[in-house]
Amino acid sequence: MTLTTTTPRLDAGWLLDLLDTRPRGHSLPGACYSDPAVHELDLRLIWQRQWIFVGSVAEVPEEGDFLSIDLGSASVVVLRDDDGRLQAFRNVCRHRGSRLVTESHGCVGNIVCGYHHWTYATDGRLLHAPQLPPTAERAALGLRTVHLREVAGLLFVCLAAEPPGDIEDVARVVAPYVAPHALDRTKVAAQTDLVEHGNWKLTMENNRECYHCDGHPELLCSFFPTWGLADHQVPERLRADHDRYLLAQVDLERRSEDLGLPYALVEDLGRPVGFRLHREPLDGAGESFSPDGTRLVGRLLGDLPDARLGRLGLHTQPNAWFHAQADHVVTFAALPVSVDRTLVRTTWLVHEDAVEGVDYDVASLTATWRATNEQDAAFVALTQAGVADPGYEPGPYSEAEEQVEAFVAWYDARIREEAAR
Ligand code: 3BY
Ligand code: FES
C-alpha cells in the first residue's frame, strides 16, 4: 500500500465540464452551489486570486486600528501602521502559524501572538521573539504582506502573487464618482453581520436583480423597481414608476452637472475587476433610503451642498455593492463562510462630525437595509434549499436579470482563466 502524504491538487477540469453544460442565460447547475469540491475551487480560483472588497478607511481611521476578514480558510488583517499607512497581512504567525487577531475590528500597539508572544510592529516587522537564536533571520520573519488597494476610501485585497492588473484602470473610473462622498471624512455609524444560509454566488445573484423587489416593501419607498431595465424592458405594471424615474433622472443630472459630479452609467462587468457605476435618482424626496426619501443624516458628506443627489450605485465583482447618498454611504461585502453560508457585512458611514441622536438616529438610518437584508437572506436560504434538491434544473433568466447573467458569466470566465494558469 502506498501512503500519500500530500493532498492531490484540486483538478478543475470537471468544474469546467459542468460549466459547459450551462446554456447562456440560465442559472448554474446545482453542484455549483452545494458541492464542497466546487467551493474549494471557488476559494482557490476566485477568493484567493481576485480583488476582494473588505471594508473602508472609516473602519481603520487611527494608527493601530485593524480589521480582519476571512476568505474561507485564509484570513487577512488590514492595519493602519504607526505612520498612518494602510497595510494588509496574512493573519498567520511566522513562528508556528497561530492566528494572530481573532476580532473583526480592534486597535493594537503591536501585534502580539497569543501563543509564544512573538511580537510584530504595525508595519509587520518582527520586533521580538523570545529565545530565538541570534542566528535566526529576524528580518525575514515579518508578517507576510497581502496586496491592498484603496479606491477613494474603499479597500480591496488580493491574495494572489500577481493580482489582476486592471484595478488601476477601474480605480481611475470609479474614484471620481466616489470621492465627493469623502469616505476619508466618515465614521462607522453602524455595522451588521448577517450570515445568509446560502452559497456566496446565490447572495451575489440575488443582489444583481430587482426582479424580486416586490419582496422589499421598505426599500421600494425610495428605490426605483426598474433598476437595470432599459426603457423597452419596463413592464406595464412598473410604467408609472419608470416615468417618475426618468423625470427624476433629468433633475438629478442637472444637479450633478451644477456640482461637477459625474453621473453617467459606466458598466464593465466582465473584466476581472468587473464593475457597474451609476448615479441614479431615489424616489420621493430623492435624498436617502427613508420612507419618504428625505435625508436620514442632518450633516451631509464631504462638502456636498445639496441633499437631493439620489444614490451613487456601485457594484463590484465578485463580492460587493455600495450605495452613496449625500447624507450617508452603505457598503456591503459578501464573504464565504462555507459552501452554504455567506456573511453579508453591511456598514453605514456618516460624516465624521455627525452626532448620533442629533444628526441621525441609528435605528432609522439602518431600518431600510436591515429589513431588506433579512428579506434577501430569506430568498437566498429558500434558493439554497431548492438548488441542492435533486429536482432542481437550471432555469432561464428574465429580461430583468441581465446583471445576474453578467455575474455568472464573470464567474465562468474567471474559473476558466485561473484554471488554465
Ligand atoms: O442593492 C442593489 O444594488 C441591488 C440592485 C437591485 C436589487 N438590489 C437592491
Ligand atoms: Fe505565534 Fe508561536 S505561533 S509565537
pLDDT at 346 > cutoff 60: yes
pLDDT at 2 > cutoff 90: no
**What number is the average pLDDT over the span 251-277?**
98
Residue type, 399: E
Ordered by where they begin, the domains of the chain are: 51-151 (2.102.10.10), 167-420 (3.90.380.10)
Residues with Cβ within 8 Å of 179's Cβ and at least 6 positions away in sequence, in order, are 152
Say which ligand is closest to the CA of 96. Answer: 2
Q: Convert the pLDDT of each residue in 67-123 to its tens digit.
A: 999 999 999 999 999 999 999 999 999 999 999 999 999 999 999 999 999 999 999
Report the separation in Å between the CA atom of 311 and the middle of ligand 1, taken as the mean of its atom positions.
11
87 in Cβ contact with 148 (< 8 Å)? yes
Report the separation in Å between the CA atom of 329 and the middle of ligand 1, taken as the mean of its atom positions.
14
Judging by DSSP bridges, how do beta strands 74-80 and 86-90 pair with one another?
A: antiparallel
pLDDT of the residue at 421: 87
**What number is the average pLDDT over the span 128-133?**
95
For a ligand 2 pocket test, name from 89, 94, 96 the mutation site with the most ligand atoms within 8 angstroms of its C-beta. Answer: 96
pLDDT of the residue at 5: 47
> Mean pLDDT in the chain?
96
Distance CA 71, CA 75 (A): 6
pLDDT of the residue at 3: 53
pLDDT of the residue at 10: 66
- Map residue 298 onto helix, strand or coil: coil
Report the separation in Å between the CA atom of 116 and the middle of ligand 2, taken as the mean of its atom positions.
5
pLDDT of the residue at 4: 47
pLDDT at 268 > cutoff 90: yes
Say which ligand is closest to the CA of 93. Answer: 2
Confidence of residue 265 (pLDDT cuts 50, 70, 90): very high
203 in Cβ contact with 345 (< 8 Å)? no
Q: What is the Cα gyration radius of the chain?
A: 22
- Enter the C-alpha cell of residue 377: 437572506
- Map residue 362 onto helix, strand or coil: helix
Calculate what percentage of the chain has a pLDDT beyond 70.
98
- Map residue 135 onto helix, strand or coil: coil
Please give the distance of CA 90 from its chain centroid, rounded to a whole number: 19
Q: Angle 15-18-22 (CA atoms, 0-180°, nearest 5)?
A: 135
Judging by DSSP bridges, how do beta strands 266-268 and 74-80 pair with one another?
A: unpaired
Half-sphere exposure of residue 61: CA atoms within 13 angstroms, side-chain side: 9
**What number is the average pLDDT over the span 271-283?**
98
Distance CA 56, CA 62 (A): 13
Pocket flag, ligand 2, residue 370 (CB < 6 Å): no
Residues with Cβ within 8 Å of 229's Cβ and at least 6 positions away in sequence, in order, are 238, 242, 399, 400
- Map residue 111 onto helix, strand or coil: strand
55 in Cβ contact with 213 (< 8 Å)? no
ipTM of the complex: 0.94
Report the separation in Å between the CA atom of 112 and the middle of ligand 2, taken as the mean of its atom positions.
9
**What number is the average pLDDT over the span 282-289?**
98
Pocket flag, ligand 2, residue 113 (CB < 6 Å): yes
Length in residues, the chain: 421
pLDDT at 387 > cutoff 90: yes
Q: Which residues of 131-144 are buried (b: 16+ CB within 10 A; e: fewer)?
A: eeeeeeeeeebbbe
pLDDT at 45 > cutoff 60: yes
Distance CA 41, CA 64 (A): 34
**What number is the average pLDDT over the span 268-295?**
98
Pocket flag, ligand 2, residue 143 (CB < 6 Å): no
Distance CA 303, CA 391 (A): 55
Q: Which residues of 298-329 are buried (b: 16+ CB within 10 A; e: fewer)?
A: ebbbeebeebbbbbbbbbbbbbbbbbbbbbbb
Pocket flag, ligand 2, residue 114 (CB < 6 Å): no
Which range (8-17, 159-168, 302-311, 339-348) has the least confidence?
Answer: 8-17
Residues with Cβ within 8 Å of 159's Cβ and at least 6 positions away in sequence, in order, are 47, 48, 49, 71, 74, 76, 146, 147
Provide the phi-psi class of 209: left if phi over 0, else alpha when psi is between -120 and 50, else beta. Answer: beta
Report the sign of the C-alpha dihedral through residues 101, 105, 106, 107, in that order. Answer: positive
